[in-house]
Chains A and B, each alone.
Chain A
Amino acid sequence: MNAAQSVIGYVPDAVAKELQQSGKIGTDTIEMPLQPGKQAALLRVRHADVAELRLGPSRDGHTSVQLVLNPGAKYEFVHTTSADFTTLNDPGLAYFPNPGAVAIFIRPKYTLSGDKKFREVTETR
């Protein structure tokens, strides 16, 4: 089994449904919140960098989405804030740390097919 890098975020259920059907969110770049319904911290990744997509459970109208990334994929964590408050990156505080990335080891459920859409993989042994 190979190691893959993945990121996890949450999208509204309707968007998840669309995603499952079309394999895309937006046009070129996916932006999805790291917490259900919160826009303060977003994950940004290009479609071209996504190797596989998995949909997780839905709760309170939001579905978890796991994007398995291609090797060397670039992704960004975008933190938004109110113009009234600017974060102090004070080392004396437990300020928002670099979250790093998680490694997961899965057999693919969806994979990008030739027509640039995600298709479910049927496992054969």
Chain B
Amino acid sequence: MASEVSPPLGLCMLAAHVRRAGHSVRILDLDLEDKPAPSPAAYLDTFANAVRDERPAIVGFTSMFNNSLHAERLIGTAKRLDDRVVTVAGGSHFGALPRRSLERIPQLDFVVRGEGEAAFASLLDALEAGKPTESIPGLCQRTSDGIVENPAGPLLDLALVPPAWSALASTIDLARYAATIPAGDRGRAIYTEAGRGCPFSCSFCATAPFWNRRYRVRPAESIVAEMRELYEMHGYDTFMLVHDLLTADKRFVDGLCDAAFEANLPVEWTANHRADIELGELAGKMRRSGCTSVFMGIESASERIQAEVRKGLTRDEITSTVRTLHDVGITSTCSFIIGFPSESTRDLSATLALACELKMLGAEPVQFHRLRMWPPAPLTTLGLAAAFDPDALRLEYPAAEIPAGDFAIIEADPAFFAGYFTTHSTAGTAYQLAQLELFFSRAVATVPLTAGALAAMYGDGVVRAFYRALDAHGPLGREDLDSTVKVLAHLVPFLRGWIERDENLADWQRELVAGVLEYERTRGHFIADGDVDAADIIAAGARWGVFGTTVDLGEVLDRLSSGAPLTAELVRDRCIALSRGTGGAVRGFVVSAAAAARLRDGDRSLAAVLDDDRTGG
């Protein structure tokens, strides 16, 4: 089944800008065009047909690190079809590596560095008027003196930038994008530009230096006006406000909330936040104005690593912020990076424990990402030894067949394909870290209690324990873990083997983790297919089931949430009920022994309680 395609915000911002400067624009989004039938070469045919039909004078290309090889092939195709076509590239990859891009791709005529709107519009003006291009700020080009990189011009005043979607109503067909949203999804979501630039200096971050670390925002009224138009004209009701760190200016966010109040639209919005920015009462105001979720880069639980990468978050700030946001009804998406150069297995174990704790506090989802070398991040300028990581390529294209030749092309040019290279880390080999990222991403999402119990029991040794389990089991395949049912089918045997084999666990620890894992396996199947697949089924109805467990799950949950230690007396028999509401939401209950006995005997009044959507709280 085709997955959702989001309209290309950056490209549309650029198109809106040059259109206002008087140029005609056509956007070809190959992600959308080839979505129904993706194949390794389909995008090239689609592009070639468009060039033949449209006969453009200038073709611009944007790509992120993960599709720059595809972009390179498109540039070659454009020139091959018509060598008079002027080719221009920009965006986060080409714009960060302008000189290397021109050196590598002979068919590429110009590269726009950094922020693209003004430079691209000036280039189009000059080409149309037949004027020289050498002095255009932010442009990189070949000259008789070799490749010349002009310094970037001033950053745009975002108050003057036209809203992308409004300006492009006749150019981009939002209905085609909306049609890719899977049936049954709750709402229609769309990326909307709120501004650019983060003032912080995290050494792994490529976007903050890309925007010169200058915090800029569009006027709040303009953002809300665009939300209104998208809601009223196209039915979008969730706005993912794009900004590196919107909450860096709390006064602006306060004004944005006021503008949203004034508009009084039944819509939701999300934004980026930092865990050490204290929102105080603004958190509640954000929620009331429609904010439902914020993204936060947590990166690491180790304060040493936090200091080393110039992020500087503390554990208390992180947990307190997730808790505060959850209390007002805002969900935190928490992202971690694994594989920092000096990271130890102890550091990484602490990170995994924190990730599990945040999940227990309501963070959703919890993400893990490998450290990547993305220019112009400061880390990429330190000359750190890095190696091609084929797994990074597979991570970008988990469901696509990658031609073998692509691996060789990428490996041969680390300066251009830096995003597929990883630095050496003392936390593990590239293989170990890739497997750890894969395993814990899925485990924290689908069996969070088991992951949390393991992290709590092993303490700073959970990473080493995972590596031992990995050695004994062999690698997990990404394709084996791309759905909940597959995750359960592959992760549960892996975890069972881990628990059974590891001699470092006491018997009660083994029993406790096994009991928690068995509950989570049962819960996973119940959520996926509605069946209670447990060894000890006590009673079952059309939408519920009651079964026995060997651990006190209620107490395990309380202790994992509060950081209290897990102890042997938690291995004791309990009864659990899972019930599916009419809306599909699944609820879980600890059932008293007396109630379990009555349910076993067919007590209808208790069964009716489990059938009631509102039971529990």
Q: Is the CB of B261 within 8 A of A93?
A: no
Q: Is the CB of A83 within 8 A of B592?
A: yes
User: Complex formed: what's the CA distance from A99 to B587 in Å?
Assistant: 16
Contact (A91, B359) CB under 8 Å given A35-B614, A84-B609, A96-B616? yes
| Chain B nearest CB, measured from A41 CB (Å) | 6
Chain B interface category by residue count: 35 or more
A-B contact pairs, 20 of them (CB 8 A): A40-B617, A79-B616, A81-B589, A81-B615, A82-B609, A85-B577, A86-B554, A86-B589, A87-B588, A88-B587, A88-B588, A90-B449, A90-B588, A94-B586, A94-B587, A96-B616, A97-B329, A98-B327, A98-B362, A103-B289
| Chain A nearest CB, measured from B547 CB (Å) | 13
Contact (A5, B288) CB under 8 Å given A81-B616, A90-B557, A100-B328? yes
B326 within 8 A of partner (CB): yes
User: Complex formed: what's the CA distance from A30 to B590 in Å?
Assistant: 31
| Choice from A3, A89, A99 contacting B258 with Cβ under 8 Å | A3
How would residues 108 to 125 of chain A score, 1 for a CB under 8 Å from any chain B CB and 0 otherwise? 000000000000000000
User: Complex formed: what's the CA distance from A88 to B576 in Å?
Assistant: 9
A57 within 8 A of partner (CB): no
Chain B interface, >50% SS class: helix
B520 within 8 A of partner (CB): yes
- Of chain A, the residue at the smallest CB distance from B450 is A92
Q: Is the CB of A92 within 8 A of B328?
A: no
Q: Is the CB of A85 within 8 A of B615?
A: yes
- Of chain A, the residue at the smallest CB distance from B364 is A91
Q: Which residues of B contact A78 (CB under 8 A)?
A: 617
Task: List CB contacts (< 8 Å) of B391-449 with chain A.
Answer: 446-449
- Of chain B, the residue at the smallest CB distance from A5 is B288
Q: Is the CB of B617 within 8 A of A80?
A: yes
- Tally A-B pairs: CB < 8 A: 121
| Chain B nearest CB, measured from A90 CB (Å) | 5
User: Complex formed: what's the CA distance from A78 to B614 in Å?
Assistant: 12
**A-B complex: 7 closest residue pairs judged by Cβ atoms:** A79-B617, A100-B329, A84-B595, A88-B588, A103-B288, A40-B614, A85-B589
User: Complex formed: what's the CA distance from A61 to B520 in Å?
Assistant: 42
| Chain A nearest CB, measured from B185 CB (Å) | 15
Q: Is the CB of B326 within 8 A of A84?
A: no
User: Complex formed: what's the CA distance from A5 to B140 in Å?
Assistant: 53
| Choice from A5, A92, A101 contacting B523 with Cβ under 8 Å | A92
B67 within 8 A of partner (CB): no
User: Complex formed: what's the CA distance from A84 to B616 in Å?
Assistant: 10
Q: Is the CB of B329 within 8 A of A90?
A: no
| Chain B nearest CB, measured from A80 CB (Å) | 7
Q: Is the CB of B328 within 8 A of A85?
A: no
Q: Is the CB of A84 within 8 A of B289?
A: no
Q: Which residues of A contact B612 (CB under 8 A)?
A: 40
Q: Which residues of A contact B362 (CB under 8 A)?
A: 91, 97-98
Q: Which residues of A contact B447 (CB under 8 A)?
A: 92
